[in-house]
Amino acid sequence: MLRKTVFYLVILQFLGIQLACAIPTHVLVRVKAKDAKFIGTSMGGALVTIKDAYTGELLTKGFTSGGTGDTHLIMKTPKTRGMTIGRGAARFDGIIDIDEPKLIEISVKAPYAQRQAMQEMTLTTWVIPGRDIAGDGIVFEMPGFVVDVLSPPAHTMKKGSGNKIRLVASVSPMCGCPVNPNTFWHPESIEVGAFVKRNGKLIDEIPLKFSGKTNIFVADLLLKEPGAYTISVFAFDKKSGNTGVDMTTIVIH
């Protein structure tokens, strides 16, 4: 009995020493939209998950929060080595307790409030006890557009043939920044269109035009025959490669 007690005391002491040596270390993570600003609270933020890269143990997780950052600094100021652009921008400050160098896996999902546009990215990096990753931190550049079909809603039902449908979609960078002629994101630089399928067969591809209202693109669809229609609205910028898609459905009977 005495031997068991001593053994357990030694184990507890050893664990206590190990815990006492663990050092809280900060890992700051930001997610920036490609060719745009940071993904922050206005778009639901980015879900950040940090794990031990070898064991898969969850070390910490949370959401980036804050604003999209300084527009002039991010979009217009020439960049130099060592320059930080994340001032005031959304961030997640992960704190992990480590007592030795650890290879971690960081994954981000964003924008969290727009699930049809949400992308996931992952990287690995070493973290050293007590050596915080600060400043701009680790910055993910998230490609894509947020495309949101506003009208018609999914599973719209119509009777008869020759139905004229007004197709309305919102298009923005992943940060939610405004698309209009007075911003850095000009409507004419983004190709917006729709693929139209009837009963699973592609029957048409049509362009959507900028409506004059921020982010809003429109087109008129003439659906001549009964059937189940699937409308896939896309946005594409050939310079940046940013792409986004959303879908809706219409049933004509």
Give 107's contacts (C-beta < 8 A, 6+ positions apart).
48, 49, 51, 120, 121, 122
% of the chain at pLDDT higher than 90: 87
Q: How far apart are CA 109 and CA 119, in angstroms?
A: 6
Give 216's contacts (C-beta < 8 A, 6+ positions apart).
150, 168, 169, 170, 210
Structure tokens at 52: 């031990």
Quick: pLDDT tens for 193-245: 999 999 999 999 999 999 999 999 999 999 989 999 999 999 999 999 999 99
Quick: pLDDT tens for 88-119: 999 999 999 999 999 999 999 999 999 999 99
Domains parsed from the chain with CATH numbers: 20-142 (2.60.40), 145-252 (2.60.40.10)
The answer on pLDDT for 18 being more than 50 is no
Q: How far apart are CA 192 and CA 169, in angstroms?
A: 9
The answer on pLDDT for 4 being more than 80 is no
Degrees to nearest 5, angle at CA 60 with 144 and 36: 20
Degrees to nearest 5, angle at CA 177 with 231 and 134: 125
pTM above 0.85, yes or no: yes
